[in-house]
Amino acid sequence: MPDAVVAARQQFAFTIMFHYLFPVLTIGLGVLIAVLKTIELRTGKLEYGAAARFWAKLFAITFATGVVTGIPMEFQFGTNWARFSHFAGPVVGQTLFMEGVFAFFAESSFLGVFLFGEKRVSRRLHWLSSVLIAAGAVASAYFIVATNAWMQNPVAYRTVDGRAELTSLWGLLSNPYLRWQFPHVVSGAMVVGSSVMAGIGAFYLLAHRHETFGRVFVRVGVIAGVLFSSTSLFPTGSLHGENVARFQPTKMAAMEGLFETQERAGIAIIGMPDTERKQLMDAIVVPGVLSWLVYGDFRGRVIGLNDIPQDEHPPIEIVYYAYHIMVGLGTMFIALFALSAFLLWRGRLFESRGVLWLLMLAMPFPYIANHAGWIVAEVGRQPWVVYGLQRTSMATSQNVTAGMTYFTLFGFMGLYALVGILYLLLFFRIVTRGPEAD
């Protein structure tokens, strides 16, 4: 693969993964803030309003960082992926535009009202702005995932003079691939929001500071956490998996490290793919389950990598491990949140210091699980940028050299390191000052 393509891929991978650290939190947190505001409006309990104000501060720095790292994403399609833009622009431009005007605009405008307008607007409008921020974040995710879903499973287009022409907007927005991918993405983001809320609440309880708020955060975080860690597995995860198997059998084979085409194909709990000998080393496989997941029949025949041309293989090891990390972590979240929810129901959670420690230390892992999931989606689609239509190696800008891209990649790395450090500094500062600071 030419150096310029490798450089462009590295730059996109780095910038998108850094960027997504922020929206993945604001999607979940936006919804939870709206929940807190709704409880305040319904019950009149002021601590929920104060809790919402506290989380809005964290939301604000996260949103700002997400915005400034997000703008380069849209423009990179033009700078580094000119041939992709040329080919797919007539389709993906639609959803990118819609994200800007339908979702992002609402989110940013109402965030201003929510953060600084509490004294200027009525209580109801302030509540409404929190709901619109959450709706904006979720809608934003919808349009971006719709863009991605088209790259995974191109629909509603025809090719005219080497370019994709959109034939139906509804077709683009109701892509069958999107049907479970979008809820799965939102569900994953909700786990991040829930885990951060529960984790910071647990920190306050363990540190004996702001304990009233700590209890509110843990309660809301754990209830949302048990709900969304479950929906990440079923229905969204398993049904999206079915779609992947249906639309992209190569990706599914790489996810499971399945080399041999077989009936009663199993899922690998553990094991290391050996792409030289074309087998799964030291594997523990539960037979039949993959066939059942894909076909609803334990004897279904699932295609393996050996029967797929080599030049259509994605990097198997990365896809395999990313998938297993996502699923493994997801399972642990369900266990942790279920245990916490049980203790909460029995009224013992706030005294169970061990579980509170686990909730606090678990905070980074939902980020890892979400990113791993996206690695499966994106690396698993290789060597295609638009599945079956345009190869990644044919999608870059011809007039941008590897040297130019590395120049800017290192620039992004330096700048984003600074941004990351400042973000963490402000994040910890807001947390240590606590919800009572004003």
Q: Does 277 bind other proteins (CB under 8 A)?
A: no
Please state the closest distance from residue 164 (CB atom) to other proteins, in A. 8
- Sequence-separated contacts (24+) of 72-77 with Cβ below 8 Å: 72/15, 72/19, 72/412, 73/15, 73/16, 73/19, 76/11, 76/12, 76/15
Our finding on whether 397 is near other proteins (CB under 8 A) is yes
The nearer residue to other proteins, 107 or 256, going by C-beta atoms, is 107
Q: Which of 252, 229, 199 is nearest to 369 (CA)?
A: 229
Count of residues that bind other proteins according to CB under 8 A? 69
Quote the least distance from Cβ 428 to other proteins, whole Å.
12
Q: Which of residues 134-193 bind other proteins (CB under 8 A)?
A: 158, 160-161, 163, 165-169
Q: Does 403 bind other proteins (CB under 8 A)?
A: no
Question: Among residues 411, 421, 424, 428, which is the contact residue for other proteins, using CB under 8 A?
Answer: 411
Interface pick for other proteins out of 60, 245, 294, 372 (rule CB under 8 A): 60
CA distance 182 to 99: 14
Report how far apart, in Å, the C-alpha atoms of 276 and of each of 259, 268, 272 are. Answer: 11, 18, 12
At 352, give phi and psi (nearest 5°).
-85, 90
Query: Helix, strand, coil % (nearest 5) of the chain?
Result: 75, 10, 20
Nearer to other proteins, 43 or 168 (CB): 168
**Contact status: 402 vs other proteins (CB under 8 A):** no
Site for other proteins in 82-101 (CB under 8 A): 82-83, 85-86, 88-94, 96-101
Record the tokens describing residue 319, joined without a space: 């896809």
122 interacts with other proteins by CB under 8 A? no
**Exposed e or buried b for every residue in 219-244, given b needs 16+ CB within 10 A?**
bbbbbbbbbbbbbbbeebbeebbbbb
Determine if the peptide bond prior to 235 is cis (ω within 30°).
Answer: yes
Q: Is 408 in the site for other proteins (CB under 8 A)?
A: yes
Q: Which residues bind other proteins (CB under 8 A)?
A: 60-61, 64-65, 67-69, 71-72, 74-75, 77-80, 82-83, 85-86, 88-94, 96-102, 104-106, 108-109, 111-113, 115-117, 120-121, 158, 160-161, 163, 165-169, 397-400, 404, 407-408, 411, 415, 419, 422, 426, 429-430
